[in-house]
Amino acid sequence: MSSATLLPAGIPATHPAVATVAVRAPLEIAFPPTEAPGPGEVLVHVLWTASSPLDLHQADGGLLVKHPFAMGTSFAGRVAVLGPDSSQRLKVGDEVFGFTFRSPREKGFQTYITTDQYMTSRLPKNLTLQEAVAVPTNLVTAFHTITADLELPLPWPVPSSSWQPELSQTPILVWGAASSVGLYTLQVLRHWGYRSVIAVASSKHHEMLKGVEYGAAACFDYSHPQVASQIIEHVTTTKTSDNGCLIPFMIDCIGSREGSLRPLTKLAEKGTKVAVMLPVINIHASHDREPEYEMDVSRVLMGEWKEGVQLRGTRTHFYLRNEFFKDHLQPEIVPALLEQGVIKPNKARVVEGKTLLERAQNALDLLRIGAPSGEKLVWRVAEDDDERI
Ligand SMILES: NC(=O)c1ccc[n+]([C@@H]2O[C@H](COP(=O)([O-])OP(=O)(O)OC[C@H]3O[C@@H](n4cnc5c(N)ncnc54)[C@H](OP(=O)(O)O)[C@@H]3O)[C@@H](O)[C@H]2O)c1
């Protein structure tokens, strides 16, 4: 990168980064070079990150991983250096956060990342870095899934306060509504005027999900043995759909073969679009069992789906194919929705540990036992910056 800026004094030539080195092995610390930003890029000093189930899929299942593999898909920190030809949006010292996943140098579990400026959001005044880091990965997932997989419109800016989508009263089922993906999906659908959202989550979350922030029209408990027939009865009696199937749109925020896909085979009909968070989890990771995943949703429960069901495997890592989202989603839409209070960050659970490695490992252990429920695991990355933490 010939036109890259030189690293200013005080920025280390290498820095610690958390990596997985073998399937189910303890995490390790590597020391990659700190890369000066090229044109349109930024170097960020990372203060906070968030864990997500993908970390477990990578560490225990080796999913799409070549070892050693740098980890982390979100960061929050402070702009250390701007590359040449920078936009006017950012300046050195700004607090920023984002969802990054494409290469080792932009992975969130390290104290410095180098990434494109369009992968960053400026921290809104009403949030701390610790709160904001719980947002970008799955808010971007919600936008990508609704627009790319369900093909429902989310125009930006919302045309007017009275604007309603054409399918505002059409049922949309969100299975796993209390997951991180589910909570952002509900908030986005509510803001854009989708009024017939059916949420599936454990009962303890139902009051919250029906409240003004999440706006679910009805809630069902996935642990109830009759959950599928309860949902069918509900949509049959409310009968808001007019395009041939009872529930034309479904988002499976969990992607568990037995826990979510199997019940959805009973609900999806010809014409239903079902977006499934990949990977499909055939066997969940645990201390004594290696997980099993499937990246091709059409190979799961073959022969059990009704003819004409449109299965879509969601892969948010492709969201940048949408040029408008590339330029506007993280730089503009995410911070605006947070600043306006339209989107509320997931409740954060701070994972403690004496070192970067210990915090990363502790967070992974919590994912392995399925501990997060309606919350996001967040933890400190660099410790040499004690302002506004
Ligand atoms: N491919 C992609 O683009 C993409 C993007 C983002 C996430 N994902 C994947 O999507 C999955 C969810 O991610 P996340 O960060 O949202 O997870 P998460 O917040 O850690 O998920 C925890 C939640 O899952 C819920 N849950 C567990 N089993 C369930 C079931 N059988 N039915 C309904 N809800 C269930 C629990 O709900 P209760 O509290 O109600 O029990 C819990 O709150 C992960 O596998 C992740 O890797 C994929």
Break the chain into its structural domains and give their ranges: 17-135+345-380, 139-317
Question: What are the structure tokens assigned to 183, written together?
Answer: 């909570």
Atom 11 of ligand 1: nearest residue by CA position: 254
Tell which residue, 389, 386, 388, 384, has the closest CA to residue 12. Answer: 384
For residue 175, the ligand 1 atom closest to its alpha carbon is: 33
Contact present, 168 and 193 (Cβ < 8 Å): yes
Q: Where are the alpha helices (DSSP H) in the chain?
A: 53-61, 129-132, 136-144, 180-191, 206-210, 227-238, 262-267, 323-328, 334-339, 356-368
219 lines ligand 1 (CB under 6 A): no
Per-residue confidence in pLDDT tens, the chain, 389 aa:
445 668 999 999 999 999 999 999 999 999 999 999 999 999 999 999 999 999 999 999 999 999 999 999 999 999 999 999 878 899 999 999 999 999 999 999 999 999 999 999 999 999 999 999 999 999 999 999 999 999 999 999 999 989 999 999 999 999 999 999 999 999 999 999 999 999 999 999 999 999 999 999 999 999 999 999 999 999 999 876 566 789 999 999 999 999 999 999 999 999 999 999 999 999 999 989 999 999 999 999 999 999 999 999 999 999 999 999 999 999 999 999 999 999 999 999 999 999 999 999 999 999 999 999 999 999 999 987 544 32
Q: Give the Cβ contact number of residue 263 at 10 Å.
A: 19
For residue 183, the ligand 1 atom closest to its alpha carbon is: 16
Contact present, 227 and 249 (Cβ < 8 Å): no
Q: Where are the alpha helices (DSSP H) in 46-156?
A: 53-61, 129-132, 136-144
Q: Between 3.90.180.10, 3.40.50.1100, 3.10.310.40, 3.50.50.60, what CATH number should domain 17-135+345-380 receive?
A: 3.90.180.10
Which CATH superfamily hosts domain 139-317? Answer: NAD(P)-binding Rossmann-like Domain (3.40.50.720)
Residue 257: its H or E element: none
Atom 44 of ligand 1: nearest residue by CA position: 53
Contact present, 3 and 40 (Cβ < 8 Å): no
Contact present, 158 and 100 (Cβ < 8 Å): no
Contact present, 341 and 320 (Cβ < 8 Å): no
Tell which residue, 98, 275, 316, has the closest CA to residue 172. Answer: 275
Tell which residue, 133, 130, 64, 134, has the closest CA to residue 102. Answer: 64
Amino acid symbol at 356: L
Sort residue 353 into left (φ over 0), alpha (ψ -120 to 50) or beta. left
Question: What are the structure tokens assigned to 62, written together?
Answer: 């080796």
Ligand 1: residue of 71, 179, 267 to mutate (most ligand atoms within 8 A of CB) is 179
**Greatest alpha-carbon span in the chain:** 68
198 lines ligand 1 (CB under 6 A): no
Task: Provide the CB-side half-sphere exposure for 270 (13 A, CA).
Answer: 3
For residue 259, the ligand 1 atom closest to its alpha carbon is: 31
139-317 shares the fold of 17-135+345-380: no
Atom 48 of ligand 1: nearest residue by CA position: 277
129 lines ligand 1 (CB under 6 A): no
How many residues would you count in the chain? 389
